[in-house]
Structure 1
Amino acid sequence: MDGDTRETIRAVALELFSTKGFEQTSLREIAERVGLTKASLYYHYSSKQSLLLAVVEPVLTGWRAIGDDAGGLAHTPPNVRHVVERCLDVLLRNRAIVGVFQRDPAGVAVVAKSLWEDSLELGRRLVGWLAGPAPTTADRLRAVAAMEVLGAVLTSATYGLADVAEAELREVLLQAALNVLGVPGEPEESEMRSAG
């Protein structure tokens, strides 16, 4: 039951943080929406900051795993595609989280400075891998641009594209990111090789 309650609290916090903003959402409001007292909410999450961390942790955990796995892969077109697909899938699964950062970026950055720094470091790590070994400035710029293309998953609703089917969104953004990186067509499964 505790796991279900924690997840319900997290879901309500995500909804409120992304629609009202982190600073403008009170723990009392979250507790009332869940049907708990504020004291009961503290049993599950010790602070609003710990709740914010729980809300955004799936993205950080996903990116951390991708970065760790990518370190063992040769930088080949099929492996680049594999890494880009995984990054995109993490973003697709966690689309609602962007509202937290868009609604109140300054509040989130101040309250969760280490979280912000972790996300930037993970992003740099993925960009570094996508740029390849001994990258040129152009390689690094293409890697940054590809990650920005993937980020369109998170902002598509802002531009009136909330009704685009997830499969179409995935297909279009994957191909766009791969085009930016200069990665050709569909990979053969047997082409993926480890670096070690």
Structure 2
Amino acid sequence: MGGTMDRTKQQRRGNTRQRIQDVAIELFAEQGYEKTSLREIAERLDVTKAALYYHFKTKEEILVSIFADLTQPILDLIEWGRKQPHTLETKQEIIRRYSETLAGAAPLFRFMQENQATVRELRIGETFKERMQGLREILVDPEADLVDQVRCVSAMFTLHAGMFFLQDLEADPEAKRKAVLDVAMDLVTQAHMGSAKA
């Protein structure tokens, strides 16, 4: 019985933590990280500042936790990719999964794009750079020629560009995501075919 109650408390805590993260990233996006206070986050949540402190002591703690939670799928993908052969199917699956990860973490990536100085200052940028390097390692054949290596890396950044620079494009969001994914898939396919010929 005690175990069930502990689990329920943890779930409630987890839900509150998630609500804090959601509200915080919303406020950070609306008015910027620097201009958002813990008091404003607590007010938007309709909780006391003390209740907020129970979960997070600082804005930085909130942001770091959002980053860790929303980018965990990237770490999972890197771990999976390291165990796979460097086949075209593997590369396509990496790109497909990365596209899904970006879609699931869109608010965080928009925040990172619009608050680059804050991201660098809080070292989230360095961690993100390390994750991008991990993705590059599982996507790029080290023996491929430079053009094909650039194609693979460009496939990753095509997904980023689709998220940030095609927002104003008149099209269904899912259709845009699919079009961007198709272009990224073409790039890894061309890179793989180029490597296969070499």
Which interval holds the TM-score relative to the shorter structure?
0.7 to 0.9
- Residue 18 and residue 144 in structure 1: after superposition, are their counterparts in 2 closer, same or farther (change >3 A)? same
Is there any run of 5+ residues in structure 1 with no aligned partner, and where? 185-196
Name 1:151's counterpart in structure 2: 160
Give, in angstroms, the shift of residue 132 of structure 1: 1.5
Question: Aligned to 2:139, which of 130, 140, 159?
Answer: 130
Give, in angstroms, the shift of residue 156 of structure 1: 4.1
Aligned structure 1 segments of 4 or more residues deviating by more than 6 angstroms = none
Name 1:78's counterpart in structure 2: 89
Indicate the structure (1 or 2) with the bigger Cα radius of gyration: 2
TM-score scaled by length of structure 2 = 0.83
Report if aligned partners of 1:128, 1:140 keep a CA contact under 8 Å in 2: no
Percent of aligned positions that are identical: 29
Report if aligned partners of 1:10, 1:55 keep a CA contact under 8 Å in 2: yes
Report if aligned partners of 1:77, 1:183 keep a CA contact under 8 Å in 2: no
Give, in angstroms, the shift of residue 128 of structure 1: 2.3
Measure the CA separation in 2 of the matches of 1:47 and 1:164.
Answer: 39
Name 1:170's counterpart in structure 2: 177
Aligned residue runs from structure 1 range 45-60, under 5 A: 45-60=56-71
Measure the CA separation in 2 of the matches of 1:164 and 1:21.
Answer: 28
Report if aligned partners of 2:151, 2:190 keep a CA contact under 8 Å in 1: no
Size of the aligned set, in residue pairs, is 180
- Which structure shows the higher helix fraction? 2
Give, in angstroms, the shift of residue 164 of structure 1: 4.0
Give, in angstroms, the shift of residue 106 of structure 1: 0.3
TM-score scaled by length of structure 1 = 0.84
Is there any run of 5+ residues in structure 2 with no aligned partner, and where? 1-11, 192-198
Give, in angstroms, the shift of residue 138 of structure 1: 1.5
Name 1:190's counterpart in structure 2: none
Give, in angstroms, the shift of residue 3 of structure 1: 1.9
Alignment RMSD? 1.9
Higher RCO (C-alpha under 8 Å, 6+ residues apart): 1
Does residue 37 of the first structure (1) align with residue 48 of the second (2)? yes
Report if aligned partners of 1:18, 1:101 keep a CA contact under 8 Å in 2: no
